[in-house]
Chains A and B, each alone.
Chain A
Amino acid sequence: MFRLFSDIWKKFKEYIVLIILVVISLIILASNKKPSAKKFSSLFFGTFSNFSSVISDALDITKYKIANTTLQKENAELMLEVNRLRQYGIENAELKDLIGLKDSVHYPLFPATVIAKSLLKPQGTFTLNVGKDNGVKPGMPVINEFGLIGIVYASSDNFSIVRTLKNIDLSLTVKDERSRADGIMKWNGSNLVIINVPKTYDVEPGDRIITSELSSIVAMPIPIGIVTGLTKVETGIFNEVTIAPFVNFVRADHVFVIKVIENKEKNNLQLNFFNRK
């Protein structure tokens, strides 16, 4: 019997090892959503990010880092302000007689530097040099002066991992700024698309897409991109809207974490898929 197993092992050891490892991989893949997996990951990336930050700092040739950060913060605040004003313009046109809208929203921005990027086509992630010690928590939006970059996925004490918009696991509720049509946006591996948009919705190439207040993750208007085209126009009852993002993910180095997580009361009223266990 032992001899038989020994013979099989000798003949097929490469295949046996492959099968065992593939099965282990599939088990790991299946237990992905467990909180322990996230904790384990944050332990590893926290340690590794210490080295990444050293290289990232050495690469940072801008000597006027502080001035840059201040200016970029100002830019990001202005971007949000402009976007808010655009919103008000549209809302004002639609609701002429309505007054007393809430207009005292302030977004607390926290500057951060991207110290590592994983630009795998289906799963873009950034590592930031801010973490729990700076008050950064999973679920917080990350922006730069052009628009939304992604959402904080996991945090260690000093570092955080951000899932960028170009990550298959991130879906957001967005809307057309002009027509106010809402939809779910996701990354399909090649493009940012709003899926299952009814053909009756008024969406045109050139329209600006922003995050929707219906979103349980980012419920503030942050620019995302511009509609570049509609697909599946001839067939079916839904269109797919392709979006060109405002942010250049390869060049994004200095970013801001918006220290806002949707309030608990609202979260309790609706189903927040990000917090769902």
Chain B
Amino acid sequence: MRSQYVWPVILFFPVLLFQTTILPLIAIRGIIPDLIIILLVYYSIMLGQMTGTILGFIYGFFFDVITGSLMGTSILSLTITGFVAGYFSNENKRDIYFKNYIFVLIVALCAIINSLLNSFFVSVDLNTNMMSLLLNLGILPALYTSLISTIVIVFYPKRNFD
């Protein structure tokens, strides 16, 4: 039972390793998909809103200390993202989410929220064109992330045997 809470934390490290070493190779105009968001959304839907929120906090903490980002920004943005993703946690609808493209839309929504929160805390600059900021920091990375998240739908087991 407890392993279901330990695995998401353990899995974070290989995913971050992949994110920082291999994913830059598929960057498009400097934009890379955010696998951490996909992992967080997946586990928030699987394990519930509270676990999603706490998991977001833990992911953000490790992300900030390992990548050298401004401490606290990812913690805050991923905590709120985990909370939002947790809204979609519903035992009856879980399978439906993972088997069709609703999951992609949830990932897109969460990625936009995460990017905007993250950039709000580090780059709030009223002189900058807000539309261009929204597009560059929020929508484009979110689209790429949600595109990659279709992998979850493809590999999610089609039948449950339990």
Q: Chain A interface (Cβ within 8 Å of chain B)?
A: 13-14, 17-18, 21-22, 24-26, 28-32, 37, 40-41, 44-45, 48, 51-52, 55-56, 59, 115-123, 125, 127, 153-154, 161, 163, 166, 168-169, 187-190, 195, 232, 240, 249-250
Contact = CB atoms under 8 A, between A and B. Distances in A.
B133 A189 contact: yes
A22 B119 contact: no
B72 A189 contact: no
Contacts of B127: 188, 195, 232, 240
A40 B71 CA distance: 11
Interface of B: 13, 16-17, 20-22, 24-25, 27, 30-32, 49-50, 53-54, 56-57, 60, 62, 64-73, 75-76, 79-80, 83, 86, 115, 118-119, 121-123, 125, 127-129, 132-133, 136-137, 141
Contacts of B76: 22, 25-26, 29
Contacts of B62: 44
Contact of B17 (A14, A55, A249): A55
Q: Which of A25, A51, A120, A127 has the most CB of B within 10 A?
A: A25
A212 B17 CA distance: 36
Given A22-B76, A122-B137, A188 B54 contact: no
A18 B83 contact: yes
A189 B125 contact: yes
Given A115-B21, A122-B119, A189-B136, 6 more contacts: A14-B83, A21-B57, A25-B76, A55-B17, A161-B67, A190-B137
